[in-house]
Structure 1
Amino acid sequence: MSKLVFLDLSRNYFSGNIPRDWTGLQHLEVIDFSNNNVSGEIPSSMCSQLPSLKWLRLSNNNLSGNLESSLQTCRNLSALDLTGNNFSGTIPDCIGENLHTWSYLILKANKFTGNIPHQLCDLSSLQVLDLSQNNISGSIPTCLGGLKQMTAADGWMINLTFSVDLFYPMHIDLNVKGVEYEYIDNIIGLIKKFDLSSNNLSGEIPEEMKNLMALGSLNLSHNHLTGKIQEGIGGLHKLEALDLSSNHLWGLIPSSMTSMTALSKLNLSFNNFSGPIPSANQFPTFDSTSFEGNSRLCGPPLPTLCSSASPNDPAVKAEEDEEDKYGKLWFYASTSLGFIVGYWVVFGSLVIKRSWRHAYFQFLDNMKDKLCFCFWK
């Protein structure tokens, strides 16, 4: 089958390992073995023997191993879907160093650890990044806010090009609004998704995320993120789904979010947000589950009434900055206490002990005499 371009064996009961011999299939561009019972590792010979391979879908199998050696020779891949396997280790740096043509990187529901490699920021064509349901730690790289396909508001066309003009219903499964959908053909090119949920990420949400103006879905839920939602998030006018639930975020919900009129799915539950919930535009359409688990939030759709509806009210501002004020209070208190204790340890002892006081001033007189002698000499 030397002319073979598409190989789709998905949704069967195939088992065993992926074949290591792919010689003779120089035109093969698409491999889809998803939803089977295939095991073992991805053979490194696959990419080296398939120079035209662009689409590799191996999701929902029992594959395992480390990706570093398997992907080292994959130079032309545009899409990789390894969802629901047992891959472990860190995400290899070679993904960003050698594979600049990638449009879809989906490593969901595996056992990856370590940090998000900064090399991913070099994937200028990337429009779907899904690293959810792993054990990835560290902070979110700020450079991910500069991914070109996600920042270009008008650029949406799919980046995959094939050597022959044949109709093939390429498909990919994505959870965009809390529901798993199957996207096919050119519709895939419309999806711009960023999903880092259900990991061990910490730190603040980078302010640079406001630059992802073409993004349609952002999911950072079930991590350990802290800090506030930046006011600039309101510039994500194409965002349809936003999930920041189950983190440690705090402060006011930015009023600029009401300008995100495409937003139809919002989940800010189980954080530490405070103050009134915005009430303009589409916000009244969200139910209470979008905001539950934030004991200091108030206003519809929650039953808790706000003492003042104005975000400029001094009480609301005081509540927003409560953590900062407590931090400053403890800083000043500890500094003052340290000064008092240090002062009285030295000078209090001189007041109480007469002999120490005489010795101290005698020491100062001697030092003065020596300095004067050296000066005049």
Structure 2
Amino acid sequence: MSSNLLEGTITEWNLSNFANLQSLDLSLNSLAFNSSSDWIPYFQLEEILLCHCYLGPHFLKWIQTQSTLKMLDLSFAGISDALPNWLWNMSSLVLLDLSYNNISGKISNLFSNLDQLEILHLRNKNFIGELPSTLRNCTRLRTFDVGGNKLTGNIPAWIGTHLTSLTILSLRSNEFDGIMPSTICRLANTHVLDLSRNNISGRISRCLNNITALVQKNSSIEYNGLLKGIDLSGNKLFGPIPQEFSALRGLVLLNLSRNHLIGNIISNIGQMEMLECLDLSRNQLSGKIPNSLAHLNFLSVLDLSYNNLTGKIPLGTQLQSFNSSAYAGNIQLCGKPLTECPGDISNNSVTDHEKEYF
């Protein structure tokens, strides 16, 4: 009954006669749940999908009686509670989504019995601590999203050695520090790598071209509205952009903004044929914009602002179509859509004079 306009309150009386119920999907409605804390339902569910229902402020205690549960989606559910201990014992879970609530606590023990888990969304505000080593047991994990929390410590090297089935890895908007482990490059099936808005330092790993899924341009796959992409923005990364990035021909989004990157934009960036969004803003990149950038025919979002780029913006339909804000803060950059370069002004004036004379 998902994705309707249902309103009202669901009580234990509404569900009491469904002894053979296996799946409960009331997501994307305007329903609230109200049940006594000691209620034990007759059914054993495999799926509980209550996204966008109001369950809060506490977890529904009857969920812990569901020993065969495979899919549990309580996202956007108004829960303001601590992570319950009983959740750690649900060893049959394949999907767990607790995103966009106000759930608090450490996630250190959560993965001790969840080695069958495949999809995990914990995008909240209040989870703290380091990623637990027990997570390495979740070798079937395909989606791992713990963005928007207060997680700390280094990104562990075992993510790349044990979680090799990952297609989405999002650690964005946390407090991770240290360097990016080179083992990340072993995530050959990863389509989305999002480490943005942390305190990660060091150089960008040169081996990211080993991520096969991002090299193959014939398999542009979209997961949950996220295109194939790498987002390392808002960190403390330094050094040049690795030349090896040009091999990522399937990449649709690349965001390296708000770091401390230096050197030139890689000269063969035009080989990244599938790029639709490129953000290199607020670094210390220098030199000229490479001519090959004008060959990116799918580019619809570009931001090179606030660097130290110089010279003339290469001519090409794409690059002249962007707003001047895409190039702002590069005081030695010229050409459309910015002001004309000095040489062009001189040539134009001579041409106009000659036309007038003749």
**Residue pairs, 1:145-156, within 5 angstroms:** 145-156=209-220
- Counterpart residue identity of residue 145, structure 1: N
Cα 1:115/1:23, change in 2 over 3 Å: closer
The answer on whether the counterparts of 2:172 and 2:194 sit within 8 Å (CA) in structure 1 is yes
> Counterparts of 2:174 and 2:343 in 1: how far apart (Å)?
46
The equivalent residue for 1:207 is: 243
The answer on whether the counterparts of 2:136 and 2:163 sit within 8 Å (CA) in structure 1 is no
| Alignment match of 1:249 (pick from 285, 301, 307) | 285
- Counterpart residue identity of residue 140, structure 1: I
The equivalent residue for 1:9 is: 74
| Alignment match of 2:267 (pick from 231, 236, 249) | 231
SS of corresponding position for 1:77: coil
SS of corresponding position for 1:7: strand
- Counterpart residue identity of residue 266, structure 2: Q
The equivalent residue for 1:115 is: 179
Report the Cα offset of residue 21 of structure 1: 3.1
The answer on whether the counterparts of 2:178 and 2:200 sit within 8 Å (CA) in structure 1 is yes
Report the Cα offset of residue 68 of structure 1: 3.6
Report the Cα offset of residue 283 of structure 1: 1.5
Count of aligned residue pairs for this structure pair = 280
> Counterparts of 2:127 and 2:308 in 1: how far apart (Å)?
39
The equivalent residue for 1:81 is: 145
Report the Cα offset of residue 42 of structure 1: 1.0
- Alignment pair present for 1:30 and 2:66: no
> Counterparts of 1:61 and 1:276 in 2: how far apart (Å)?
44
Structure 2: unaligned runs, 5 residues or longer: 1-65, 346-358
**Residue pairs, 1:1-377, within 5 angstroms:** 1-22=66-87, 25-44=90-109, 46-157=110-221, 172=224, 183=225, 191-308=227-344
Report the Cα offset of residue 134 of structure 1: 0.6
SS of corresponding position for 2:112: helix
Report the Cα offset of residue 284 of structure 1: 1.7
Tell me the percent identity.
Answer: 41
The answer on whether the counterparts of 1:71 and 1:94 sit within 8 Å (CA) in structure 2 is no
Give deviations 1:204-227, integer Å, cap 9, x for gaps: 000000011000000000000000
Give deviations 1:81-117, integer Å, cap 9, x for gaps: 1111000111011101111001111011110100000
Report the Cα offset of residue 25 of structure 1: 4.0
- Counterpart residue identity of residue 39, structure 1: S
The answer on whether the counterparts of 2:107 and 2:132 sit within 8 Å (CA) in structure 1 is no
SS of corresponding position for 2:268: helix
- Counterpart residue identity of residue 139, structure 1: R
> Counterparts of 1:281 and 1:65 in 2: how far apart (Å)?
49
- Counterpart residue identity of residue 123, structure 1: L
Structure 1: unaligned runs, 5 residues or longer: 159-170, 173-182, 310-377
Name the TM-score, length of structure 2 as normaliser: 0.74
SS of corresponding position for 1:239: coil
> Counterparts of 1:135 and 1:259 in 2: how far apart (Å)?
34
Report the Cα offset of residue 153 of structure 1: 1.2
- Counterpart residue identity of residue 254, structure 2: L
Give deviations 1:315-353, integer Å, cap 9, x for gaps: xxxxxxxxxxxxxxxxxxxxxxxxxxxxxxxxxxxxxxx
The answer on whether the counterparts of 1:79 and 1:102 sit within 8 Å (CA) in structure 2 is yes
> Counterparts of 2:88 and 2:150 in 1: how far apart (Å)?
27
Q: CA RMSD in A?
A: 1.8
> Counterparts of 1:234 and 1:23 in 2: how far apart (Å)?
48
The answer on whether the counterparts of 2:98 and 2:123 sit within 8 Å (CA) in structure 1 is yes
SS of corresponding position for 1:229: coil
The answer on whether the counterparts of 1:144 and 1:209 sit within 8 Å (CA) in structure 2 is yes
Cα 1:74/1:64, change in 2 over 3 Å: same
SS of corresponding position for 1:49: coil
> Counterparts of 1:106 and 1:24 in 2: how far apart (Å)?
25
Give deviations 1:153-203, integer Å, cap 9, x for gaps: 113457xxxxxxxxxxxx84xxxxxxxxxx2xxxx5xx2010000111000
The answer on whether the counterparts of 1:299 and 1:306 sit within 8 Å (CA) in structure 2 is no
Higher Rg = 1
- Counterpart residue identity of residue 191, structure 2: Q
Point out the structure with the larger helix share: 1
> Counterparts of 2:84 and 2:117 in 1: how far apart (Å)?
15
- Counterpart residue identity of residue 4, structure 1: L
The answer on whether the counterparts of 1:276 and 1:306 sit within 8 Å (CA) in structure 2 is no
Name the TM-score, length of structure 1 as normaliser: 0.71
The equivalent residue for 2:16 is: none
The answer on whether the counterparts of 1:95 and 1:120 sit within 8 Å (CA) in structure 2 is yes
